[in-house]
Amino acid sequence: MKEALDFAAPFAPGQTGPKAQRQPEVPVKKMMALLDALTEGSSLELVGELLDVTGVRAVLSTRLEYFSDRNASEVIDGEFRVLGKPVRVIPSGSDDSINLLRKTKFTLFGPTLLDQLNEALAKATQAGLSLPKIETEIHGPAIQIVPIAIFT
């Protein structure tokens, strides 16, 4: 969403001349604050499906500095092999889950705030943005892995 807002900013009304500099609009500032809060401590949780085991999800607990240019977009929507250490297994039917927000300030907030965020994103989807559903917990069957290497 932040990248979409950055892309749209030069085309917004009030831009004067091709090289005019503008301060980011309020939505961009809010998106940057949200991004900073979610990546606090440079941690990043990547969630994917295991290819060889149907229905099992994998959570890779990574850090942004593991990726070139501190950008994890290079592993989005791809198939990769991961060498890593399993640190947690959540069996099917368990009441336990992997909290994706455990390393962020969002652990201090209850489900009401997260529901409000989901409502705001639903409005953005109605306006034409294609956004995935926000997940804050991964229920079993799932495995949490600290990766040593991610490769194709």
Give the per-residue pLDDT at 83: 92
52 and 96 assigned to the same domain: yes
The Cα 5–Cα 9 span in angstroms is 6
Looking at the whole model, is its pTM more than 0.75?
A: no
* pLDDT value of residue 20: 47
Taking a C-beta distance cutoff of 8 angstroms, is the pair 145, 87 a contact?
yes
65 plus 137 within the same structural domain: yes
Q: Within this chain, do residues 77 and 10 fall inside the same structural domain, yes or no?
A: no
Q: Which of 78, 127, 138, 68 is nearest to 102 (CA)?
A: 138
pLDDT in tens, 88-124: 999 999 999 998 888 777 777 767 777 787 787 777 7
DSSP single-letter state for residue 44:
E
- pLDDT tens figures, 49-85: 888 888 999 999 888 777 766 666 667 777 888 899 9
Assess contact for 75 and 67: CB atoms under 8 A: yes
Backbone angles phi, psi at 61, to 5 degrees: -90, 100
Q: 83 and 27 in one domain?
A: no
* Residues of the domain holding 1: 1-14+22-38
Do residues 104 and 126 share a domain?
A: yes
Could you give the number of structural domains in the chain? 2
* Residue whose entry in the numeric block shows the structure tokens 């990248």: 3
What pLDDT does residue 93 have?
Answer: 92
- Is 84 found in the same domain as 65? yes
Mark whether 59 and 105 lie in a shared domain. yes
Residue 61: is it exposed, middle or buried by C-beta count within 10 angstroms (0-12/13-18/19+)?
buried
Q: Same structural domain for residues 46 and 34?
A: no
Pairing of strands 43-49, 57-63: antiparallel
Per-residue pLDDT tens digits for 8-22: 656 555 555 555 455
Mean pLDDT throughout 122-133? 73
Whether residue 119 is found in the same domain as residue 66: yes
